Amino acid sequence: MNNTEVVVERDPASGLPLERRPRTDFPTYIGPATHLAEERTRLSALTWEHFDARMMGATIGAELTGIDLTGDLPQTAIDEVAAALAAYKVVFFREQAFTPAQHVAFARNFGELEVHPFIPSNTDQPDLVRFEKDADTTGYENQWHHDVTWRECPSRATVLRAIEVPEVGGDTLFADMYAAYEVLHPDVKAELDGLEAIHDFVQAFGRNVPEDRMAEMRERYPEMTHPAVCTHEVTGRPYLYLNRTFVHRFAGQTRPESVDRLDRICRMSDTPEYQCRFHWEPDSVAFWDNRAVQHLACSDYWPETRVMERASIVGERPRR
């Protein structure tokens, strides 16, 4: 017989503040993400003419159905996809059997495309970066990041298509950087006000550059300074713009002086309440705002094969 005596009458959370708050002993936040309620309600009320949308996270991610991206879309449909992207931060599509040319054509509806100097491309389409993972080439994209923040004008948005994927594993996670900034304690926001970070391609790609080309690449792609908190050019909302992949240090500080602060702030992406997760199938497509979200590709499928192609849309220089 169990003789344990229950000495409480209420849930342990009863009476605690209705807000997410920082712990005093760890650099993490706990408690209800009540700051998401208004945005979740707004997104839940949205309706669309050219597709249907099913939300995937409280404030981030929606799967759009009823639209074929492989053909010529009317401008009204393109504009509505762009509006959905601004609202949900990342949108997903299934059964979009793109040819490489169709992939590029769809992405070009939203702006000029970039060519990545440090990742191989599709042999027929230099605008398509090709990620081909197998037992010999494993995935190292499994940390939170915005893409190509080492550029003066990083990507505005990205269109990623699955070509061959494992049945289990290889999901991609996305994190809402508006929500991550909004929850910060006022003291932390004050700490970030005016703070600038130095981004460097060498952090991730230096080992791939031939030694006799490094000086040339350094001249083409020097260290780049961007604000730690930026203002989105479409929505006008502030978002965190820091990642461990490409940020080397904070302006005016050394690398050792910057690491603890960078890690503490980057932990905001780890919060499940600000995330959605997408399981890939062949011909699935993800279209994300490279400013409003960070992403992480799960590397849990070795030694299986995972082949993806990505078109990235050139953006503006991030601004405070």
**Active-site annotation holds for 310:** yes
Q: For CA atoms 45, 46, 52, 54, give the dihedral sign.
A: negative
For residues 115 and 121, the answer to whether their CB atoms sit within 8 Å is yes
Q: Which member of 103, 116, 145, 226 is catalytic?
A: 145
**Active-site annotation holds for 226:** no
Q: Which member of 20, 103, 147, 226 is catalytic?
A: 147
Closest alpha carbon to 107 in 128, 87, 92, 122: 128
Residues in Cβ contact with 231 at an 8 Å cutoff, skipping those fewer than 6 apart: 237, 238, 239, 319, 320
Give the helix/strand (H/E) hosting 226.
Answer: strand 224-227
CA atoms within 13 A on the CB side of 9: 0
For residues 301 and 166, the answer to whether their CB atoms sit within 8 Å is yes
Q: What whole-number distance in Å separates Cα of residue 308 and Cα of residue 96?
A: 13
CA geometry: angle 127, 128, 133, nearest 5 deg = 150
Q: Which member of 103, 161, 291, 310 is catalytic?
A: 310
What DSSP state is assigned to residue 97?
-
Q: What whole-number distance in Å separates Cα of residue 61 and Cα of residue 87?
A: 9
Q: Which member of 226, 249, 295, 306 is catalytic?
A: 295
Residues in Cβ contact with 240 at an 8 Å cutoff, skipping those fewer than 6 apart: 177, 180, 181, 228, 229, 265, 268
**Active-site annotation holds for 147:** yes
**Active-site annotation holds for 145:** yes
Q: Is 236 helix (H, G, I), strand (E, B) or coil?
A: coil
**In the chain, which ranges are continuous DSSP H helix?**
37-44, 75-88, 100-108, 177-182, 186-192, 202-205, 214-220, 255-266
- Which residues are tagged catalytic? 145, 147, 295, 310
